[in-house]
Amino acid sequence: MDSGPTSPPRLLEQVHAAIRVRHLSPATDAVYTKWIRGYILFHGKRHPREMGATEVEAYLSHLATKAKVAPSTQNQAKAALLFLYKVVLGTELPWLDHVVQAKKTPRLPVVLSPTEVARLLDQMTGTMGLFARLLYGTGMRLKEGLRLRVKDIDFERREIIVREGKGSKDRVTMLPESLVGPLQDHLLKVRALHTQDLEEGFGEVWTPNALGVKSRGLGKKWHWQWVFPSRLRSPDPDGGTIRRHFIYPESVQWAIREAASRADIAKPVSPHVLRHSFATHLLSSGYDIRTIQELLGHKDVETTMIYTHVLNRGGHGVASPLDRMGTKPPQIKGDQ
């Protein structure tokens, strides 16, 4: 029987569908949905088709002046609204391209010294310790390391293939010699866990671009498994299939912050700081900046050039005139 006309999908459902069709990441899906929902709520739940440049500028201005978000966050919100209007609603609005873009203040990255990296890693053991060493030893971003699959590690060539990094590009980075043994031992435990999952009727991981549909059972193959799987199985947000995902990014961030605290490192330390340190330490060892650009997966060498500024000593390597005078340091005697 004809059940009658079906109602058109709701706006946020259209956003989800447009993101999936373009194979954008779940993180992009979550972020874009957040800003689009916020934009609609900010304007009293009016439909975006009824709004224009004035409403977009008002929302972005609110984020900067009232919500006090960073320029990069404000630009992220603008990108979400561009996606909404141009892709989801199919509306060509020249005015949207001219909405003021927040300017980022140039910042030097936080970099640990080799001694500080050693102190940090000495405070980390087990899976988190292995993962942190892999980030520092390869220069991978946090999510690139989390999405690493068994098939992407080449132990013979001592290489790691980073799949769909920033900009959806693949690249090759090194596999540190010191991590070959620990990684192989780790994968033995992961394989035992995978075997147990298969015996219990599970063991299928998410595969990109509907590969699991085209090649049935592909997601259960050993070489497609995550290198760093979660300890628990959970439902997939897109479909509800019970799977074992990779470990939570927040778990890694917390573990590194706690290790930095125990190591008494007086700098804001995050997983990305290990990537910054990787690049800076290679530069200080004399490696070519183009090589480092390829290892990091930077599109433009200008992005990699920021690490040359970090290498400069205070004042761009210029010696202070105080240091040339040879005067004795003052004697500090209690409270003055």
Of the residues 133, 141, 243, 281, only one is catalytic, namely 141
141 is catalytic: yes
Of the residues 78, 133, 275, 281, only one is catalytic, namely 275
| Assigned domain for 161 exists | yes
For residues 84-112, give the mean pLDDT: 75
Evaluate if residue 295 carries a pLDDT over 50: yes
275 is catalytic: yes
| Assigned domain for 3 exists | no
- Taken in order 66, 71, 72, 76, the sign of the CA dihedral is positive
Q: Looking at 34, 67, 97, which one is the last position of a domain?
A: 97
272 is catalytic: yes
CATH of the domain at 181: 1.10.443.10
186 is catalytic: no
Residue with tokens 């989390």: 146
| Same domain, yes or no: 191 and 171 | yes
Q: Looking at 33, 63, 97, which one is the last position of a domain?
A: 97
Q: Which residue has the higher pLDDT, 317 or 193?
A: 193
136 is catalytic: no
For residues 180-197, give the mean pLDDT: 96
Of the residues 166, 221, 245, 257, only one is catalytic, namely 166
Of the residues 78, 186, 276, 298, only one is catalytic, namely 298
| Assigned domain for 223 exists | yes
| Assigned domain for 145 exists | yes
β 234-235/171-174 pair status: unpaired
Mean pLDDT across the chain, nearest whole number?
85
| Same domain, yes or no: 36 and 74 | yes
Nearest to 60 by CA among 45, 33, 42, 85: 42
| Same domain, yes or no: 70 and 200 | no
CATH of the domain at 81: 1.10.150.130
| Same domain, yes or no: 33 and 91 | yes
User: For residue 133, what are the domain limits?
Assistant: 106-314
Split into its structural domains, the chain has a count of: 2
Evaluate if residue 92 carries a pLDDT over 80: no
What 3 state SS string does the chain have?
Answer: CCCCCCCCCCHHHHHHHHHHHCCCCHHHHHHHHHHHHHHHHHCCCCCHHHCCHHHHHHHHHHHHHCCCCCHHHHHHHHHHHHHHHHHHCCCCCHHHHCCCCCCCCCCCCCCCCHHHHHHHHHCCCHHHHHHHHHHHHHCCCHHHHHCCEHHHEECCCCEEEECCCCCCCCEEEECCHHHHHHHHHHHHHHHHHHHHHHHCCCCCCCCHHHHHHHCCCHHHCHHHCECCECCCCEECCCCCCEECCECCHHHHHHHHHHHHHHCCCCCCCCHHHHHHHHHHHHHHCCCCHHHHHHHHCCCCHHHHHHHHHHHCCCCCCCCCHHHHHCCCCCCCCCCC
| Same domain, yes or no: 28 and 120 | no
For residues 145-158, give the mean pLDDT: 95
| Same domain, yes or no: 180 and 300 | yes
Give the pLDDT confidence score for residue 1 in this predicted structure. Answer: 40
| Assigned domain for 320 exists | no
Q: Looking at 64, 97, 130, which one is the last position of a domain?
A: 97
| Same domain, yes or no: 56 and 115 | no
Amino acid at 127: T
pTM summary value? 0.78
| Same domain, yes or no: 18 and 161 | no
| Same domain, yes or no: 178 and 281 | yes
Evaluate if residue 58 carries a pLDDT over 60: yes
| Same domain, yes or no: 45 and 143 | no
| Max avg pLDDT among 66-70, 152-156, 305-309 | 152-156
| Same domain, yes or no: 168 and 302 | yes
For residues 285-290, give the mean pLDDT: 88
